[in-house]
Structure 1
Amino acid sequence: MDPLDPEYDPAAPRTRPPQRQRPPRQLPVSQPGAASPGNGQLPIRPPPPPPGPPPVHLAWSEHRDPNGSFYYYNSITKESRWERPAEYRPPPPPPRPPMAGAPAQQILQTSKQLKPAGTDENSERKATPPSAPASEHPIGMKKLPSTKWTIVLTSKDHEFFYNMETKESVWDMPDEIGDLIGQLIAEAMGVDIGEDGDEFHSEAEPENEPKEVMDEEVDVNATGTASKRKAEDNEEAEGVAKRRKEDEAPEPSGDEIKAEALTQEQKNEEFTKLLREMDVSPYSTWEKELPKIIHDRRYTLIGTLKERKQVFEQYCKVRVVELREEKKHKVKDTKEAYLSLLKDEVTYRTRWDDFSRKFKRDERFARFDAKEREPLFKAHIAALKGNELERKRSETRAAKDGFIQLLRETKEVDVDASWRRIKRLIEDDRRYQAVRSSGEREEIFREYIRKLTEEDEEHQRRLEKERKERDRKAREEASLREREAQVRREQSRLNRERNMHRESLQKEDATTLFQTILVDFVRNADAKWRDARSSLERDSRWDRCRALDDMQKERLFSDHLARLQEKRLAAFHSALKDTTDLTTTWDQVRGWILQDPRARKLASSDDLDELEDVVKRTFERFQAERKEKAQSDLLELLRENNFVKFHVKQAVVETRAKSLEKGEGEPKEGDEWGHISLEEIMKVLMEDKRYIQLDAYVEERDRAVKEHVRDLIRTYRAERGGTVDRTLVHMGK
């Protein structure tokens, strides 16, 4: 019996005899324009033919594996893939089912609202033209016992779940009714999964509960039939409820007592054993694998559907890992078998075509991956060839070693032996015959003779080395004696130098101290040593300068006066740099320079004529040095300027090229001036201040520039086979 059928009685005993079970009744669905025979109308039409295969986009469905990843399954081709197919369409949202309380009336009212105006009840039963297919809509509702959930059937043979309290509609089965659905399916299959009915009903249900929990099935086009069916079901439910009151509570079975004694961990282990025994696929879903395990009593050891799913998911994770390991071991076993076949049947001369044709029916060949057969075969052949080559090389080395040993044992073989004579002496020996090539025998003999020669030479070198080592030791002993004498001399020298260094340090300290005394007492550059010495000797630091003699002290005194004079001149020059240039004359600065205190310090007396004479000489000497410095800077500028060099060099090249073109030979010196632009050179040089500072001496500056250009012309004219000639060659091309 279908547990979702309206005539299914959940309160009836679970162990009814087979002859008392009624066949499941089909859901009566009235077709438009059809009526029951009792009303005197036409008989009900037969049901339409079964639908064909679903469309392609409905054949694909989305599922989740135990690791949480989504995959897609085709119910027609039985294909599974990870990528989402282009034909896949997600299911539409479930339609809004009718309100609880009066489902039949509301569905009927909904169907009436969809009727065109001016139709009556008789016109409703007329057949709808096949060219106008109706949209998907609810045609029936099945209420689940002891829950607020109902199963709604649509016009396209789809089902969804509707909560009559929260008004929620879902496609997937809610967890709270999973146990109930499983129990109903098990009973419909004729399997008793437990004597306790608490899983479906509560003992605290009132007597009139069967009336509320009976399935309601409504046809939107046959409300009369539905009402009649509901009345019959209610009467049957009342009778079943009375029979349940009269029945005594059954005694718990031994299996139930054993199940109650198990811990939760043991229950999970039993449930996992059930999944393994039924070979439940870890890549499938709970709903698809449920029929395999629901008939087993171990299914009921875990009380809730949520816990069963958790154990199922854990089993899937563990089973996936196990299957992968099994696959790896299987691949490894098949590979080892294939390698064993190669080892037993293949030589290094075997070809792949012959091998594959000969052993294509061999189980070790057929079970191995076809893509890896040939590469592994070729790798094995390469290894065999390598082994064969190594074997031949070993044999060749052994034969060569034996032949060399034969030569060592032959006393007649020395550095002067000939191959023709030695060959006749050893040709009967098996070690001679082991080397098959006569040329190779002679080559080995020649190599052995060369080795003997090298050994003899090495022996001579070793004797010579020993002789040299004796000579070296003798020289080392003599050198050691000489070194000892040298060390003694060096030690004496170091003592002298140390004493001299000590004296030098004392002299340096005395010099520094004496210079300090001079800085403190001598501040006039015109002071005299004889006059200053008496004042210096009165200082307490004079006695600490005993390391200096009188001559050294007088020299330090003179150096001190020179530094004082340099400072005065530096101050005077600084004043001139800030107020004069190269064109300034003495008459222009005479009026103010004599009043400057830095100039007045240059003279030792207060005589104005002497002061003027000293300051004038100093000024003229400064101007001369200043001009000389400017001219030196100009020459440095000319030497550094690459433009002048390039310009003059280009003029020399062009002059020589034109002379060669005219057939005049080497040009005369001075012809290059026709290709040199002094104005352009001057324009480039004017960007440097070293050129500008000689604006007062234009003639001298221009003369220096021309002289520099003339020197460059001579330099570039003297070049032969260098840059100038290469430039001419390129110009000729």
Structure 2
Amino acid sequence: MDPGLPPQSFVAPPGIGTPPLLPQVPIPAPIAGLSPFSPMIPSFTVPPPGFNNFGPPGVVPANVAPIVPGSEWSEHKAPDGRTYYYNSVTKQSSWQKPDQLKTPAELLLSQCPWKEYTADNGKIYYHNVNSKESRWTVPPELEEIKKKIAAEDIKPSSGTVTPREVNSPVPVSQPVVSAGSTGPNSPTASPGGKSALEAAMAATLAAISLPNPPAKSDEDSSTPQAEVSKESRTSTPEPKVFTNKKEATEAFKELLKEKNVPSNASWEQCVKIISSDPRYETFKKLNEKKQVFNAYKTQKQKDEKDEQRLKSKKYKEQLEEFLLTTDLISSTTKYYRCDELFSTKEVWQNVNDQDRRDIYDDVMFSLAKREKEDAKNLKKRNMKKLSEVLECMTKINFDTTWSEAQVSLLENSTFKNDVNLLAMDKEDALIVFEEHIRVLEKEYAEEREREKRRMKRQCRKNRDQFLSLLDHLHEEGKLTSMSLWVELYPIISADIRFSAMLGQNGSTPLDLFKFYVEDLKARFHDEKKVIKDILREKAFEVQIDTSFDQFATVICEDKRSAALDAGNVKLTYNSFLEKAEVKEKERLKEESKRMKKLETNLKELLKEMNIDFELPWEEIKVKLEKEEEYLAFESDSERQRVYREFQHEMEESCSHHHSRSKKSKKKKKKVYKSSSSDSDSDKHKKSKHKSKSPTPYSEDSADEYRKKKSKKKHKRKMSPVSE
């Protein structure tokens, strides 16, 4: 095996593959005093991925960067043009440039959080990897670092170096040996006694800082890009800043839309598509990116379903429109016949069979409806045309027969020259003729009614004038809700407006008078509310002795009384007066109840005190002066009256008990004599039992029972007083 070839067991980085061979360039001249494979630049035993034989000494592939002394990293180009880095020790590949391969200028730039990128339109913008802020203008931190690099720039003493631009997102130095360098033995020591290491660092810095002169063939193509970059720098557009997570989410979704990431793509496939775009770093955390990606997929799947649904809907609408507009089918055409006619047409094939059948059913229904509508329109047109012809024929009047009308129509030129009218259904023609005759009859009837309406109009005017007469009488106060026809007849009959009403149809003057009075009475409740409000505001209350003049005077003081009817005012007064009388009766009734209760209490007190009812009032009065029942009466005459009633009741009760006892003794004797047999003895027992029953209610026992009961009541009533 050729020692310059990679081992057969080499595995390229994932998703990258082995970079292709590029045109070879000469190896840079070695530093003076060192061999090409000195310890400063050791030769590697395991070549980087994709390396072929280096060929002749001093030649290295152009896609391989020079190996930094003491570093196991090397730079390579992927098939898609992206740069990756390979570690010969760990056999690992990385997209990020390791620090061992970075130049001093790159190390300074890597310390700055601002990175430089180029947008799709060619404009350069700057992105902060920490704050996720983007802007079009050069940040002060990055500009300061660039100035520092330019200040430390050192040109090489011999040879010409072709560097890359400093502004490149991932700058790589590839020094090229000039024609003055002949080989490994050529002296390269710089004047001034610099060491070989310092000379190498100076050459690296020169490669970074010096501008790269473009090739002549690329001059025309690079000039517009420079102009665009210059315009983008001088125009200083608004910085692209994500102030919140929502804006960052929208930017990331916009990236997915621009790259047209499929809805069924996995996250790994998505990363391969969008990772080269600087907006991929919008979110720092992977889970945030995946969250937005999943939301994008869900929305895209929904949009695709909607698009498919709209597409299917469009095809259905096209098929439905085609079937509705074609002249090859009618409402009676079968489905299999439609399939035979249109099976080769694209508009038929775009819809599946089930949907076609549904559309066919809808179209057949629509066609049947349209044909029915067309027939209806033709019928309507013929009937309208025939009606116009009949209206133009003066020979036909309201008493013309159908047979006479047919003869007249055949003589009419308009009817004879119209094919549709000649083919018109006879029943429809008869219907039109009947309607025309009805119109003529109606016109004749209207002519007769016109005179009647004129008479009715005159009668109505007479009634209105008579009502104005009643209004005038009402305003003068002569006509009220309590007025009678007999009272006002002499005044009404003397007016000419009353005479004009005589002999005409409709309501008579008496009817109008009654209606007018009823309307006034119907206003009673509303006007009564107004009168109540006036009395409430005036704080006036109708009493039994209130006269109507006093009541009317209070009402007339208010402006609202002008719209009140005098009869309703009188009725309201009567209503209030009746209520006042009812209240007075209730008051007297309550007063009577109260006095009766006081009398009862005083009588109970006299019974409880065991006062001899035969004593005069002056002696009794001394005993009762401090009692509550005695003081409840306002006058002494009332107390004397109650005492006299008490004496009368006690006398009656005593006489009643004496008479009952005598009757019971006589009854006992009769029962005793009649008890001669066993049955008589039973009756005697019963009668004896009955005769004994009044004994508990004798005079003495009844008095004792009442005394005990009254004492208990007296104790309960007098207990607070005794305390």
TM-score, structure 2 as length reference: 0.37
Q: Comparing both chains, which one has the higher relative contact order based on Cα–Cα distances under 8 Å and sequence gaps of 6 or more?
A: 1
